[in-house]
């Protein structure tokens, strides 16, 4: 018996059953776009109701799946592309810059700039981990004179008189190796400048010489 045309919404769930015979209504008997997103109840079609391989790339509209409707993707399954820095976990290294100065610097003046490195954080919440190393030798003066090393950001001292209580103080001709580490919180995404400055206990008569200096800055996600 032929079906009588009915209006949308008047056929209750399960009203059409197997009396029509298995698969009596098939896709080629439905009008184009008869089933679409507007008349499918949210969540009514789940993965368990779809046969394997029934949904493929050629039946998914362009841009149907985008970053707007994907809640999260585990980084372990992302095999293509680059994970943005904003999605990296706390403690990740976001960038590294380093500068070396193999040439010798000799001075008897106070406030001698040893190394300067420009740096632009990618996030205002990032930390900047600074490493400084150098070899220093005193070439004259007397044992009462010594040096300190200060660490500056944009011209302002953030670590004063780095090192021990008296700085570097050795007899003439003696060399010492010094390393310093500092974790800074610049709270900016603008370009900043980090500088290591040697300051002397007395100017004009304390000739110190610096060798193999290196300044390394690491941006750490926080």
Residue 118: CATH number of its domain: 2.60.120.1340
Cβ contact 215:102 at 8 Å: no
Query: Does residue 190 lie within any of the structural domains?
Result: yes
**pLDDT for the residue numbered 111:** 75
pTM for the predicted model, two decimal places: 0.62
Q: How far is CA 165 from CA 23, 28, 59, 160, in A?
A: 89, 88, 73, 11
Quote the domain boundaries for residue 162.
93-220
E-only strand ranges, the chain? 93-101, 105-107, 112-119, 127-138, 147-153, 156-162, 175-184, 192-200, 208-220
Q: Cβ of 197: how many Cβ atoms within 10 Å?
A: 19
**pLDDT for the residue numbered 125:** 94
Query: Does residue 47 lie within any of the structural domains?
Result: no
**pLDDT for the residue numbered 113:** 84
Query: Does residue 14 lie within any of the structural domains?
Result: no
Site of tokens 């904003």: 86
Query: Does residue 27 lie within any of the structural domains?
Result: no
User: Tell me: the pLDDT tens digits for 137-154?
Assistant: 877 666 666 777 889 999
How much of the chain, in percent, has pLDDT values that exceed 70? 58
Query: Does residue 53 lie within any of the structural domains?
Result: no
Average pLDDT over residues 126-141: 85
Query: Does residue 54 lie within any of the structural domains?
Result: no
Query: Does residue 153 lie within any of the structural domains?
Result: yes
* Domains contained in the chain, number: 1
Cβ contact 138:171 at 8 Å: yes
User: Tell me: the pLDDT tens digits for 155-173?
Assistant: 999 988 775 544 666 667 7
- Whether the per-residue pLDDT at 195 is higher than 90: the answer is yes
Site of tokens 């707007």: 68
Gap between the Cα atoms of 8 and 162, Å rounded: 81
User: Tell me: the pLDDT tens digits for 6-35?
Assistant: 555 555 545 555 455 555 566 566 666 777
Q: Which of 31, 41, 27 is nearest to 5 (CA)?
A: 31
Query: Does residue 114 lie within any of the structural domains?
Result: yes
**pLDDT for the residue numbered 7:** 52
């Amino acid at each position: 018996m032929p079906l009588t045309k009915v209006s949308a919404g008047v056929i209750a769930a399960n009203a059409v059953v197997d009396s029509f015979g298995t698969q009596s209504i098939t896709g080629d008997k439905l009008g184009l776009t008869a089933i679409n997103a507007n008349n499918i109840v949210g969540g009514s079609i789940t993965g368990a109701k779809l046969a394997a391989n029934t949904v493929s790339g050629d039946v998914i509209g362009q841009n149907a799946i985008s970053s707007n409707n994907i809640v999260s993707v585990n980084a372990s399954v992302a095999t293509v592309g680059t994970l943005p820095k904003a999605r990296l976990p706390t403690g990740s290294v976001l960038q590294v810059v380093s500068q070396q100065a193999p040439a010798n610097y000799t001075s008897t003046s106070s406030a001698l700039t040893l190394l300067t490195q420009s740096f632009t954080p990618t996030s205002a919440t990032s930390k900047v981990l600074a490493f400084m190393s150098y070899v220093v030798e005193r070439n004259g003066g007397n044992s009462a004179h010594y040096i300190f090393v200060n660490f500056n950001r944009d011209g302002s001292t953030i670590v004063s008189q780095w090192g021990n209580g008296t700085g570097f103080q050795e007899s003439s001709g003696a060399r010492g190796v010094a390393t310093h580490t500092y974790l800074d919180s610049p709270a900016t995404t603008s370009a900043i400048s980090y500088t290591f400055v040697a300051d002397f206990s007395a100017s004009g008569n304390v000739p110190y010489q610096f060798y193999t200096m290196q300044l390394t800055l690491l941006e750490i996600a926080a």
